[in-house]
Structures are given as C-alpha cells and as structure tokens.
Amino acid sequence: MGLVLSNGVIALAGALIAQQEGYADVSRGIGVIVVGLASLIIGEVIFKSLSLAERLITIVVGSIAYQFLVWAVIALGFNTSYLRLYSAVILAVCLMIPTFKQTILKGAKLSK
C-alpha cells in the first residue's frame, strides 16, 4: 500500500511540473535518481548502521560526500560533459569498497 501511495504522489508531482513547464521530458528526473541512489550507496558503504535514524543520517552524509566528489571532479578541471561517466566511476568504486575490505582482511589473516 505504501508503494502505491508513493508512486501516486510521484506521478502527481510529475504531472504538476509538466503542467507548469508546459512540456514533459522523459529524461528530466534522471539526475535526481542518480543522486538519490548515489547517496544511498555511498552512505551504506561508508557506514553500516541498523536503526532508521542512523540510516537517514548516512543517506545525508552520502549525499554530501557524493556532491563533494562531483565538485572535486569539476575543480580538478575534468571535462564536465563526461560528468555522468565520472559519477558512474565514483559509484563503481564505492560499490567495490566492501570487496576490497574483505580481500585485505583475508590477506591479513593469511599472513599471520
């Protein structure tokens, strides 16, 4: 039931924006979705928390970290037309962090 209500509210918001702007564009919300998913992924990778309040805080921290990384890419002088590619690379690295941690810990245990 919650999913139905949330999708209805999202559809209503999209309809209101399309009505105000005078047109609808399929790719309009892609950036928001990418930032939202990046915030979730970075927050969950960096912090392993269990409670709802801690998860919300990690999402906010993940969003700030993602925006900082995008700012750093722009500040370093990279071509901004490839910003989606850089975002994908940042997310891929964040997704690989847990695997790297396990590999490093496994290597440390074998060397002892």
**pTM of the predicted model as reported, rounded to 2 decimal places:** 0.58
Per-domain boundaries in the chain? 28-111
What is the residue-averaged pLDDT of the chain? Answer: 79
Residue 39 contacts residue 67 (beta carbons within 8 Å) = no
- CA–CA distances in Å: residue 49 to residues 55, 58, 64, 93: 6, 8, 18, 20
What is the C-alpha to C-alpha distance for residues 54 and 22, in angstroms, rounded to an integer? Answer: 40
Q: Determine the average pLDDT of the residues in 80-98.
A: 82
Q: Per-residue pLDDT for 63 more than 70?
A: yes
Q: Is the pLDDT of residue 103 over 70?
A: yes
d(CA 36, CA 26): 18
Confidence of residue 11 (pLDDT cuts 50, 70, 90): confident
User: Could you give the CA distance from residue 42 to residue 39 in angstroms, rounded to a whole number?
Assistant: 5
Per-residue pLDDT, 29: 65
Containing 76, the helix (H) or strand (E) segment is none
Name the more confident of 50 and 3.
3
pLDDT, position 110: 64
